[in-house]
């Protein structure tokens, strides 16, 4: 696949140091031009998808303020239209924009990506951010790691299950070492048991507490109870 084809078909990998500023600028110009050509009666989803593309490119160019505005607007549209995976992608961009409310955006992305059956790779990615933001000795990192492994295990398709669960097992091992200095598998199992991280009925509510510590009840951007009612049965 050529570089131009990748730019046409894929979102910019804004976290990749190998992505050149020139390529990102070309991608931005292309997507901004497409957005500017939208007719007044263009569908909200088409408009939001282009906004997300533009926002991601803007982050890659260090234009975080502009990126935040576009991704935040697109997020509301995706939520309204129940496009959960793209809503999570918006939260990813909002987090990476490193604005004052970026941690709030991260919490929203985690909640959406755990609550809804989106691509488990996205969910693992969002939970990994939580691990990165949490002190090594805090239980919150352990809760995020085990939640990532659980989601990977139950949601990953056959062709991605082995690689994704291998990654999440490594996350657990890294967190266990940083949290309590344990490294061998037997000690990790005992550590998980000691922290009560073997039962999803226990650790998923604890994940909610972690998110609640980031976002006070009055600062959530959407009604979680209302969105729970939209969970596919």
Along the chain (233 residues), what's the average pLDDT of each consecutive run of 10 residues?
A: 37 54 93 94 94 95 95 97 97 96 97 96 97 94 97 95 96 96 93 96 96 93 92 77
Task: Please report whether residue 171 resides in a domain.
Answer: yes
Residues 81 and 174 in one domain: no
Residues 85 and 118 in one domain: no
Residues 55 and 133 in one domain: no
Task: Identify the CA nearest to 75 among candidates 64, 65, 86, 67.
Answer: 86
Other CB atoms within a 10 A radius of the CB of residue 220 amount to 15
Task: Please report whether residue 232 resides in a domain.
Answer: no
Residues 128 and 195 in one domain: yes
Residues 148 and 53 in one domain: no
pLDDT reported for residue 7: 35
In tens, the pLDDT along 197-210 reads 999 999 999 999 99
pLDDT reported for residue 51: 96
Whole-model pTM: value is 0.89
Residues 10 and 70 in one domain: yes
Task: Please report whether residue 146 resides in a domain.
Answer: yes
Task: Please report whether residue 220 resides in a domain.
Answer: no
Q: Distance between CA 63 and CA 66 in Å, rounded?
A: 6
Number of domains in the chain: 2
pLDDT reported for residue 17: 53
Task: Please report whether residue 223 resides in a domain.
Answer: no
Task: Identify the CA nearest to 142 among candidates 91, 88, 193.
Answer: 193
83: domain CATH number is 1.25.40
User: What domain range includes position 22?
Assistant: 1-99
């Amino acid at each position: 696949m050529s570089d131009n084809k990748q730019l046409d078909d894929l979102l910019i990998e804004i976290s990749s140091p190998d992505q050149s500023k020139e390529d990102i600028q070309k991608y931005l110009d292309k997507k901004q031009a497409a957005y500017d050509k939208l007719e007044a009666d263009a569908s909200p989803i088409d408009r939001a998808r282009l906004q997300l593309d533009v926002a991601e490119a803007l982050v890659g160019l260090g234009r975080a303020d502009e990126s935040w505005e576009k991704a935040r607007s697109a997020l509301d549209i995706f939520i309204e239209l129940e496009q959960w995976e793209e809503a999570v992608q918006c939260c990813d961009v909002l987090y990476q924009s490193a604005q004052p409310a970026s941690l709030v955006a991260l919490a929203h992305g985690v909640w959406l990506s755990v609550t809804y059956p989106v691509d488990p790779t996205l969910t693992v990615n969002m939970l990994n951010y939580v691990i990165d933001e949490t002190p090594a000795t805090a239980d919150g990192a352990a809760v995020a790691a085990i939640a990532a492994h659980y989601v990977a295990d139950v949601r990953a398709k056959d062709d991605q299950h082995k690689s994704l669960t291998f990654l999440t097992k490594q996350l657990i091992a890294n967190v266990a070492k940083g949290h309590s200095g344990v490294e061998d598998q037997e000690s990790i199992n005992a550590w998980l048991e000691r922290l009560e991280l073997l039962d999803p009925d226990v650790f998923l509510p604890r994940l909610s507490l972690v998110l609640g510590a980031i976002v006070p009840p009055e600062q959530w951007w959407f009604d979680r109870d209302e969105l729970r009612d939209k969970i596919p049965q």
